[in-house]
Each structure stands twice: as structure tokens, then as C-alpha cells.
Amino acid sequence: MTTGAAWTDEHPETAHGRSRPDACSVQWELARASAMGTASVARFWLAWEQPGPWGRDAARQSHLDPALGDELSTRSADAGGRFILVRHPGGHAERQRSGDPAGTQPAGHRVLVGWAGEDPWLLSVQAPSAGDVLDRLDWEAVAAGDRRAVLAGWPDLEAAAPVLLVCTNAKRDVCCAVRGRPVALGAAAERPGRVWECSHTGGHRFAPTGVLLPHGQTLARLDAARAVEVVDRAAQGELPLGAIGSAYDRGRSPLEPAGQVAESFVRTELGETGLTALATGLEPVGDDTWVATVRHRDGRRWQVDVRRVEGEPELPASCGKAAGPTVTWNLSLR
């Protein structure tokens, strides 16, 4: 199987809306290019609620103090995680229309800490300042996925239901704003508090994109109805059947790209919707080649030969960039 050539689902029905025909996400969609193996790599996710506009580098270009944003982003990356900003859908646009672009800062900011590795968990708290996160979060415990130790260091944290973060970071790529914001707004209207706008998570060429916390399951080409279904099914530990396959499944963030694509391949072949049903190990065997072992919780396992290939089709990685070679994956079961 070559992921770039196989579109296992029907063509997505996400409308181009106001997107230009040369927008990167439109070109990738029309080319029926696979999304597999494109999730950002992160064992955990740390989200900070920050209303107002975000720049290209949101952590350092927003109403969050840039020094604190830089420190949170750096500490997260050093510990194997990802720091992002979140905000309630629609709020920023409403403040702009009211003539108050900075917005009124709330009494506190929602903090989400999600472990995406084995036995995923999501914790949440309202914090008065980003400095609280730096002072109270046990970074070593988060990096190890030790929920008990994280709670011991910050007892105010509480268990939270899965949430879907939809990228709307316009300054990073316009596709995320034009295509992501309507999805976030529509889904949040149906499931308040379970859907957030978020800053850049990678892969705007697959907009509208989303990350399901705590699992780190990363999705492409969402629409509002599919986003609502993702949130609803996640509460049962499942993905919708319509969210798997090469059109929509970008992979799980705890895995390296080759592991992501191998696991998504097996998930698609099985029609497996359980969010924690599969676990994947990866062994490099040569340049751009790996053997992945995908295990099912019922004891079954598969070995997948994975090879990374760069070439056709040529497509732009972002809006405004020239088309260039794309990565595809050759996959075969042993």
C-alpha cells in the first residue's frame, strides 16, 4: 500500500467555503493526498487559555507575556510535549466587532494537561497566571505520564472529559482561519466546553485540523458534524468510523511519523475505532525504512514494513509557498 495513492474513504465533504482555489488545503484535498503520518510528535499536551489575537508564533505573540510563553513552550518541548494556546470559539471575532480587540481578561485561564501515551489522562484547572503553571506543574511527572505525581504537586487539577482542539491560527496559515473557525464555532455550539480553538499544531495543508485530548489523536479535514461526532464518541473511548482512513487520520502524537502511519494503516484495515485499542513499536532497519509492530489489546499483533518516499505529487506545504515534493509511505504486512 502507498499512502499517497490510497484514499480509503470517500472524498471529504468539507466545503472549500471562502478558501481560494490555490489554498494549500484545497490543493491537498483535490489531490486526494493522504494525511497519515503527519501528526505533531508529542507525548503530552499543555494548553493555556489565552483570549485575543495570536501571532504566527502564538506562544510568544499574544496577550500572554512573551517570556512566559517562551518558557512554557521550551519546557514542554524539552519534556517531550507540546504547548499550545486555546480560546473559546467565536470569542475573538466578537471582541473585534465590539471594538475591543484586546478583550477583557477573565479572572482565570483554563489549563489543560493531557498525557497521550499509554493509559491517557486529561486534567484541568482554572489558573490565575501562567506563572502558576511554571511553579506548580511537576514537569518530570508530566513527561513520565505519572498522573498521581502530577496531582500531588498540583491538587487543584481535576479529571476532565476528552476535548477537541481545532486549529484556527490564521497568522500561521490562512486555511486554519477560513476553514477551521467555522468548524470550531459550529461544533462548540453543539457541545459547549468540549471544543476549543487552538494555535498551530502542524499540518495546515489538511485544514480544518483537530487534536483530540488526551489521546493526541490528530485529525484532518474536519467539518462541524464530524467534530461533534468525534467528541461524542471520545466520551466512550472510541473514534467515529468516519474519522479513520487516509483522508482523516493523521495519527497519534506519541508516535514518530513512521509509527503513526503503520498504526493508522492497521486501524483502517481492521476498521478499529477504539482509541486505546492499538499500541505500536518501531524499529529502524535502514535509511527511511522501519519495521513497526502493532499490537491489539486483545493480543493480536502485526508487523508492518514501512518505507518513506519523497516525490510525487508536488504540492505546497503552506499557502503562498511553491509546490514541492511530498512524502508518501509504502506499507506492507509481513
Higher-scoring residue by pLDDT: 249, 3: 249
Residue 92: band (very low, low, confident or very high) from pLDDT cuts 50, 70, 90 = low
At 264, give phi and psi (nearest 5°).
Answer: -65, -35
* Residues 187, 229: Cα–Cα separation, whole Å: 9
Query: Is residue 122 packed enough to be buried (19+ CB in 10 Å), middle (13-18) or exposed (0-12)?
Result: buried
Mean pLDDT of 175-200: 92
| Three-state secondary-structure class, residue 180 | helix
- Residue 227: is its pLDDT beyond 70? yes
Which pLDDT score is estimated for 170? Answer: 67
Residue holding cell 484535498? 29
| Local confidence band at 2 (pLDDT 50, 70, 90 cut-offs) | low
pLDDT at 10: 45
Check pLDDT > 70 for residue 7.
no
pLDDT score of 9: 47
Q: Yes or no: say if 54 and 62 are a contact pair by the CB < 8 Å rule.
A: yes
Question: Whole-prediction pTM value?
Answer: 0.91
Cα dist from 241 to 14, 101, 119, 270, whole Å = 17, 40, 22, 11
| Cα(2)–Cα(213) distance, integer angstroms | 29
The DSSP output letter for 133 is H
Determine the Cα–Cα distance for residues 213 and 196; give it in Å rounded to an integer.
11
pLDDT value at residue 13: 46
The pLDDT-based confidence of 321 (bands split at 50, 70, 90) is confident
Residues 86 and 47: beta-carbon distance below 8 Å:
yes
